[in-house]
Amino acid sequence: MSGLPDWRKAVSENDAERRSIAAMREEMAVLRAALDLQVPAKRAVGRNLLVATWNVRAFGGLTQAWRSEDNDSPKRNWRGLAYIAEIVSRFDVIALQEVRGEFKGLRELMKTLGPGWQFLMTDVNRGAAGNDERMAYVFDAARVRLSGLAGELTVPDDDKVLARLGVEPGSPFRQFARSPYAVSFQAGRETFILVTMHVLYGKGYADRTPELKAIAAWLKDWAKDTASWGHSLMVLGDFNIDQQGDVNDLAFRSTGLYVPPELDGLPRTVSFKADGKPPKYYDQIAWFCEEAGEFALGMEFLSAGGFNFRDLLFQDEPKLTA
């Protein structure tokens, strides 16, 4: 089954859409050149592993046109999906947050990537805090394969467990708003577990702290077990942390989770503006470092970074995003 129409052969009788297609062709060349410079190339299987996380805002439906009109809903269209597919294709496995209950966009993404790509996703997180969201992993099956484990992390209704997770008595926290999703993969001889989550945004910044403390404690316990089997454990996703070194960042790192310094100072959202205010640290990739001893990351870390497409795409329609 084919996905979106080939952007190289896209045609339209509508003048506005023709202009949008012409702009897309130019921007796709710029996007590819930027990705070539900023994202390492895929080497032989087992030689390197490219892992990414991306909160694709409200990744649900899709308008089947190259240009969205004012009354179209959703605004995301074939053009935006073509950009998303190009970025995703550069990685081996990518965790996606905010995949919606209606996931036409994800289905079309998988068709566009082709039969060599696979995905797993959660069911919709119910309740207002769940925001009709799923979490998903998309992976290049020629380079990465499933190794058997898949599950959502939930908190037992047990005060002793809550205490071990750092939840203070009387705290309203009893469960993750959107269940963290853990999946194990194998690349070459290495087995690794990824845990992705989208932390509760809440009515105030303090609402996020209990979740961040709980996931940090949970992961420390789990890392000890997985390390005994020679498996690496990484956590990644949208943690809704505003600033490095603030109370929620410290809660996230409280049990030894390590964020590579290459990510420090990088804006983690395309809505970032150079207005002098500190960048948001929403998106994180972390693991337990060598100081954690017997449950440190088993694989060798090579490099990290962020890719911001804000100034590359939709320059003719600046209010639209991929």
Taking the domain 7-295, which CATH number applies? 3.60.10.10
| 107, 6 contact by CB (below 8 A) | no
Query: Which of these, 126, 153, 123, lies nearest to 135 by C-alpha position?
Result: 123
Please provide the average confidence, as pLDDT, over all residues in the chain: 86
User: Domain coordinates of the chain in residue numbers?
Assistant: 7-295
CA-based nearest residue to 231, from 280, 173, 187:
187
**DSSP 8-state code for residue 294:** G
| Contact between residue 168 and residue 97 where contact means Cβ atoms under 8 Å apart | no
SS3 154: coil
Cα distance between residue 107 and residue 102, in whole Å: 10
Residue 4 has pLDDT above 70, yes or no: yes
The pLDDT assigned to 108 comes to 95
Q: How far is CA 256 from CA 130, 219, 303, in A?
A: 28, 10, 19
Give the residue from 117, 122, 152, 124 showing the smallest Cα distance to 138.
117
Q: What tens digit of pLDDT does each residue of 274-306 get? A: 556 666 778 889 998 766 555 667 788 889 999
Per residue in 10-46, pLDDT tens? 888 788 888 998 999 999 999 999 999 999 999 998 8
The pTM score is 0.90
CA distances for 271 relative to 56, 219, 281, 309, angstroms = 12, 30, 12, 10
Residue 143 has, within 13 A of its CA and on its CB side, a CA count of 21
Quick one: which H or E segment has residue 13?
A: none
Q: What is the pLDDT averaged over residues 49-55?
A: 96
pLDDT tens digit sequence for 160-190: 877 787 777 777 777 788 889 999 999 998 9
Q: How far is CA 142 from CA 39, 52, 90, 291, in A?
A: 19, 17, 13, 34
